[in-house]
Amino acid sequence: MFTLSVAYPRNKKIVVIMSAQHDPKQNRLLAALPAEVLERIADDLELVSIPLGEVLYESGGQLQHVYFPTTAIVSLHYLMENGASAEIAGVGNEGVLGISLFMGGNTTPSLATVQTGGCCYRLKGRLMLEEFNRAGPMMRLMLRYTQALMTQISQTAVCNRHHSIEQQLCRWLLLTLDRLPTNELTMTQELIAGMLGVRREGITEAAGNLQRAGLISYRRGHITVLDRSGLESRACECYGVVKKEFHRLLSDAATAKEH
């Protein structure tokens, strides 16, 4: 494996990787593209490693790339004037980061930070727009994904308003697990509280309840899910709504690709 370090804001680095161990099709959107479309952009897809806590774009900043995560998870936050924030959506191997670029807005009020360090493929915004404006498979797939992302954002808002912290925690854990190859997460209670926009004490109590029920194990910033079905039974309906919509839209896209 050869790596090339590239300077990045906030004294961190995005590392450009050349490796045969990675494949664009590890991202479900790229995998759903017809072969001729993926081949057309393949040489311009740049595999990068992004560390935990990296800011991929600031609120109101100009977007230069779109990102297709494979093993990384990116959290979209809305940042208030007083500095408080809460997660409005997460993006993992099911999606793409930077929809405002091809939707015409080019900027967004949200903040994108890396929740789980890993890899993703990035594509220059200009090239993404060229492919999107062909009004072909890329455009149809991106619009489907945007609808699914809107469902996630709206369901998060409803969940934060009407459901308990324990239910919100279960939803968040399950959505995160869906994007990971293991049942283990590296995440402190303080960071989860920041994601959900609640007090840390609330997360401590909720996590304690789940641990005493034998659903999770938590120690030193590491969470292991021991009983996924039990976690699903304690989650509110929001998790199922989001998962069902993503499955429907991306499954339809895969079916269309085959035909």
Please say if the pLDDT value at position 86 is more than 70: yes
Per-range mean pLDDT, top range of 6-10, 41-45, 75-79: 41-45
Q: Is the pLDDT of residue 9 over 50?
A: no
- What pLDDT sits at residue 14? 62
Most confident of 11-20, 61-70, 109-118, 205-214: 205-214
Average pLDDT, the chain: 86
Higher-pLDDT residue of 180, 85: 180
Tell me: the pLDDT tens digits for 148-183?
A: 999 999 999 889 889 999 999 999 999 999 999 889
β-bridge partners, 124? 65
Indicate if the pLDDT at residue 103 is higher than 90.
no
- Residue 58's pLDDT is 85
CA dist 233 and 212 (Å) reads 15
Phi, psi at residue 87, to the nearest 5°? Answer: -70, 135
Task: Report the C-alpha gap between 145 and 239 in whole angstroms.
Answer: 17
Indicate if the pLDDT at residue 255 is higher than 60: no
Whether 3 has a pLDDT exceeding 90, the answer reads: no
Nearest partner of 232 among 223, 243, 222, 221, judged by Cα: 243
Which helix (DSSP H) or strand (DSSP E) does residue 78 occupy?
strand 73-79
* The pLDDT of residue 187: 85
SS3 209: helix
- pLDDT at position 1: 30
pLDDT band at 5 (very low <50, low <70, confident <90, very high): very low
pLDDT value for 194: 83
Q: Once rounded to an integer, what is the mean pLDDT over residues 180-187?
A: 88
For the chain, state the CA radius of gyration: 18
Q: What domains does the chain contain, in order, with CATH numbers?
A: 2-136 (2.60.120.10), 164-235 (1.10.10.10)
- pLDDT value at residue 16: 60
pLDDT band with cut points at 50, 70 and 90 for residue 105: confident
| pLDDT value of position 38 | 96
Q: Is the four-CA dihedral 79, 188, 73, 198 of positive or negative sign?
A: negative
pLDDT at residue 211 above 90?
yes
Local confidence band at 15 (pLDDT 50, 70, 90 cut-offs)? low
How much is the average pLDDT of 96-116? Answer: 86
